[in-house]
Structure 1
Amino acid sequence: MSATLPASFLEKMKFLLEQEYDNFMSSYDEKRYYGLRVNELKVSHEQWLRLTPFKKHLEPILWTDNAYYYEEQDRPGKHPHYHAGMYYMQEPSAMVPVELLDVQPGQRVLDLCAAPGGKSTQIASKLQGQGIIVSNDIATERTKVLAKNIELAGVRNAVVMNEHPSQIATSFPQWFDRVLIDAPCSGEGMFRKNESMIEEWENFSVERCSSMQREILDDVAKMVAPGGQIVYSTCTFSPEENEEQIARFLTRQPEFSVVQVEVNWGWSHGNHQWVSDEISEQLSQKQLLSIDGTIRLWPHRMKGEGHYVAVLKREGIARDISESSSGREVERHIMWRTIDNTVTKRDKHTKNESKFVKSGNGNRSSIKGKEKLKQNQNYGKSINAEATPEEMWNKFAKEQLSIVPIVNYEAICYGNRVYLQPEGLPSLAGLKVVRAGWYIGELKNGKFIPSHPLAMGMRQDEAIRSINFASTDELLQRYLKGETIFIDSDQLIIKDGTKQNGYVLICVDHCSVGFGKYVDGMIKNELPAGWRLI
């Protein structure tokens, strides 16, 4: 490590670590660790192991069942499998919080400080398409990469927002079964990974970070359902942001308690002795000692960077997710709500309606949240007087796709963009929405144009036309660079009764990487510019 660590930081670490201080300091001379996690929304773990060219250098990350250390020189971000969303590259210790969140299919999950999206994609993989994940980040610019990583992973059941926690709490009172807080912090645990964090640490005080964390925790407490859980994590060593922060939370929110985490794989217990006397005196002995059930990840004890994680549970009986509509077939009426909030069954002869919000059983309110895209200028005007957005989507799906009808999703429009949104969400009115659900396409010149996220979320068997390339195929490389490619028609995989010409799902080792448009031996490239190989 070339950078010089601040003297005040070193003094603090001597106090915290005592006889382990020298070993801790030696860790800064070791190489950083690189990790990747298999995305089982796109490929099974076993299938990926058969396909990957990196197997020679892989070493399992012990606290997950589908992640590996890899060698920096392998550069998996350059491989076509990365562009298919088969895996996500993530610092190994950063995988721990979601593992402790205990996500189950069908749950409602909030990732509050979600950018760049690694933990959200990890949560989505555990949900397996059932339930809902709301991914939020307060930094507008960071939501762009957040949305892209969620789309790259093929996530169908996510909503992406750019909101302050207090605003989310107002719209989602006691609604989430699980909440992840990857809290903004002083970043001391990342000094080895990113030396620029040292300068940031000197500019942003621990006190400032502690204040933000306190507000976030109190807002989140309002969102957690009875029996629900919070995982609070930081990438810093400061007790003020860790044990002290959790102890203070328990004094303000007595309906929460610490869930004891078993220590494995070089993890360490939290330390209640690092809680200030002022706060210790406000807790019962049981509450105070429970702080030892939180965990610390020290870089000299395990293969990863420094983290702290606490699991908190709200008292009460947890929602029975088996009773949720998520993940099971339901029958419901299809209704549409126009922009004047009038709920009516859709009459196919009605004209002059352009901005629709689909309403399940008439209990949805119109979505007016300000999307982080410019509002379409056709707001309130007819986009197509002959068909609703849903009718246009259904027509496209029938002609160009082989998708089984998607239950438990609502088709909604923001301007000319069409989304499939997980059913059961509260109203998003007034919230800053970046992605209102699975972005499937847009209405343009009276036609439905499919989106790249639609392709990324599809399986090969859901396309009536597809083509599969090996990861080493030169044609695949040309496609990923945005070029038009030429093929023999017998390379296409076409469902019975399907015309050859039309949209084709491009796949690498049977995982989708995007759409093309096939016309007489030529595949016109539909890969957006921002998704191409450079």
Structure 2
Amino acid sequence: MELPEIFSQKYHALLGAEATDFFAALTNGEVQKGFRYNPLKPDCLAHVEKFYPGALQPAPYAATGFLGAVNGKSLLHQAGLVYSQEPSAMIVAEAAAAQPGEKVLDLCAAPGGKSTQLAGQLQGEGLLVANEIMPKRAKILSENLERWGVRNALVTNHAPAELVKHFSGFFDRILVDAPCSGEGMFRKDPEAVAQWTPDLPVACAARQKEILTAALQMLKTGGTLIYSTCTFAPEEDEMLVSWLLENYPVTLEPIVLANTSAGRPEWGNGDPALQKTVRLWPQKNQGEGHFVAKLTFHGENATLKRKPAKKARLTSEAKASWEVFSQKFPQTFTERLVVFGDQLWQLPAEAPTLTGLKVLRPGLHLGTLKKKRFEPSLALALAQQNEDWPQLAISLTDWSKYVAGETFAQPGNQGWVVLQVDHITVGFGKQVQGVVKNFYPKGLRFQV
């Protein structure tokens, strides 16, 4: 890898004697892959251990993380049991440490690595709002949360400042994994090297300040802000946190995680508190470069009077079809029903009114209200929490046909069933006279 000359000069000056090891690791070091298992899925770790024979090597910064690669077309990934994530990226949500019952915002959320990790911490309680400004990336985010089996999340598609009028003073925790110059990804992403210019860190810092200004307006008093980047640039790291400390009623909190390096106060405004921030370096840590700061907000934001979301107005026919399905598949969730077009959703109990919001995923997608029948969604199957639902064991060969959109033979006539491969739920099928009809979403189908 050939680094820009100005970049090399900058970090030789900043790092001094450490520069030799830094540049050797950045240009010649091995890129380490990683993944997390899903604590929302029953017996998930046991299933993962079956598919990864031999000892799993724990990742350094997440209790649910391991080192190793994940095949995106594998059963484990498609059923939402694992999520591929670079090891150092796991540190951000780990530092956030969301607690069940809290209201949490992932402000720059796509593709969903940190959102899925936060959802696992919340354990189905409270509310997760995962926001992404880019529509195509927001769609990928929504698909990843669906695969993960998350039922208490909203996926929104807004610029951060647009959310303030809906969520002023609302959240207990906000995570801002900010768009940055990407210097920490140089080793694994040649495009990041090609796009780097000497002015890029300053330009990114200006954008980060706008995002953080919006984020702070949505925190409760005493709320937690997690700010992170995947860059080494002091302009976006210590200098940016110095700007927060100087301009807002916030204090830095320690991030207690082993095998990390402290931030450099001399690269910011000299405040010794900057040592509470955390850096990951390629010459010292497994994974790529990262920076994380954890702050407590001591100010006061106006809290809005929030109307509850409107309840679903089902036609008598639609209500009857849903009730028939629910008798066979009893629901354990308590969230509110809402209807968008012919789609039925369960809105998280903590969610405010959705009026004026661009929402891609308003909670858990239950299914489609068809004429005189209800067609359950893949999301409902993947969020299954009721072991008493009718099940049908299928083989890996059957699953390969299922994800490709094909029918396959299985003796029986149960009607709607949850399809399972080795006790891993993969979706709904409709078993009619020995044939399983395929309801895997057309937009997600693929050849194994």
TM-score bracket for this pair, using the shorter chain length: over 0.9
Match of 2:185 among 186, 190, 197: 190
- 2:351 paired residue number: 425
Deviation at 1:462, TM superposition (A): 4.7
The TM-score normalised by the length of structure 1 is 0.78
Q: CA RMSD in A?
A: 2.3
Asked if structure 2 preserves the Cα contact closer than 8 Å seen for 1:452 and 1:515, the reply is yes
Larger of the two Rg values belongs to structure: 1
1:155-199 Cα offsets, whole Å, 9 max, x none, are: 111100001111211111111111110101000000111111112
Deviation at 1:236, TM superposition (A): 0.3
Deviation at 1:482, TM superposition (A): 1.9
- 1:37 paired residue number: 36
Secondary structure of 2:187 counterpart: coil
1:485-519 Cα offsets, whole Å, 9 max, x none, are: 10123xxxxxxxxxx43111111222211111100
Instruction: Return the letter of the residue paired with 1:64.
Output: A
2-structure distance, mates of 1:443, 1:529: 18
Deviation at 1:8, TM superposition (A): 1.3
Is 1:532 the counterpart of 2:445? The answer is: yes
- 1:434 paired residue number: 360
Secondary structure of 1:24 counterpart: helix
- 1:97 paired residue number: 92
Within a 5 Å distance, the mapping from 1:496-511 to structure 2 comes to 500-511=413-424
Equivalent residue pairs, number = 441
**Alpha-carbon distance change, 293 to 268 in structure 1, aligned in 2, over 3 angstroms:** same
- 2:407 paired residue number: 484
Asked if structure 1 preserves the Cα contact closer than 8 Å seen for 2:169 and 2:218, the reply is yes
**Alpha-carbon distance change, 443 to 46 in structure 1, aligned in 2, over 3 angstroms:** closer
Within a 5 Å distance, the mapping from 1:319-358 to structure 2 comes to none
1:210-252 Cα offsets, whole Å, 9 max, x none, are: 1110011111111111221011000001001011111101122
Deviation at 1:262, TM superposition (A): 3.0
2-structure distance, mates of 1:391, 1:227: 46
**Alpha-carbon distance change, 174 to 202 in structure 1, aligned in 2, over 3 angstroms:** same
2-structure distance, mates of 1:121, 1:440: 19
Match of 1:270 among 244, 255, 263: 263
Secondary structure of 1:119 counterpart: helix
- 1:308 paired residue number: 291
Within a 5 Å distance, the mapping from 1:185-334 to structure 2 comes to 185-202=180-197, 205-254=200-249, 256-262=250-256, 264-265=258-259, 267-276=260-269, 288-315=271-298
1-structure distance, mates of 2:44, 2:387: 19
Structure 1's unaligned 5+ residue stretches are: 281-287, 318-361, 368-381, 490-499
1-structure distance, mates of 2:153, 2:113: 14
- 1:467 paired residue number: 392
2-structure distance, mates of 1:40, 1:141: 27
- 2:46 paired residue number: 47
Match of 2:139 among 137, 141, 144: 144
2-structure distance, mates of 1:152, 1:263: 29
2-structure distance, mates of 1:414, 1:454: 16
Match of 2:21 among 11, 20, 23: 23
Secondary structure of 2:98 counterpart: coil
Asked if structure 1 preserves the Cα contact closer than 8 Å seen for 2:49 and 2:56, the reply is no
2-structure distance, mates of 1:69, 1:520: 45
Secondary structure of 1:77 counterpart: coil
Within a 5 Å distance, the mapping from 1:381-460 to structure 2 comes to 385-387=315-317, 392-398=321-327, 400-404=328-332, 406-407=333-334, 409-459=335-385
**Alpha-carbon distance change, 252 to 80 in structure 1, aligned in 2, over 3 angstroms:** same
- 2:426 paired residue number: 513
Asked if structure 2 preserves the Cα contact closer than 8 Å seen for 1:366 and 1:429, the reply is no
Identity %, equivalent residues: 36
1:27-48 Cα offsets, whole Å, 9 max, x none, are: 1212200001000111435423
Instruction: Return the letter of the residue paired with 1:66.
Output: T
The TM-score normalised by the length of structure 2 is 0.93
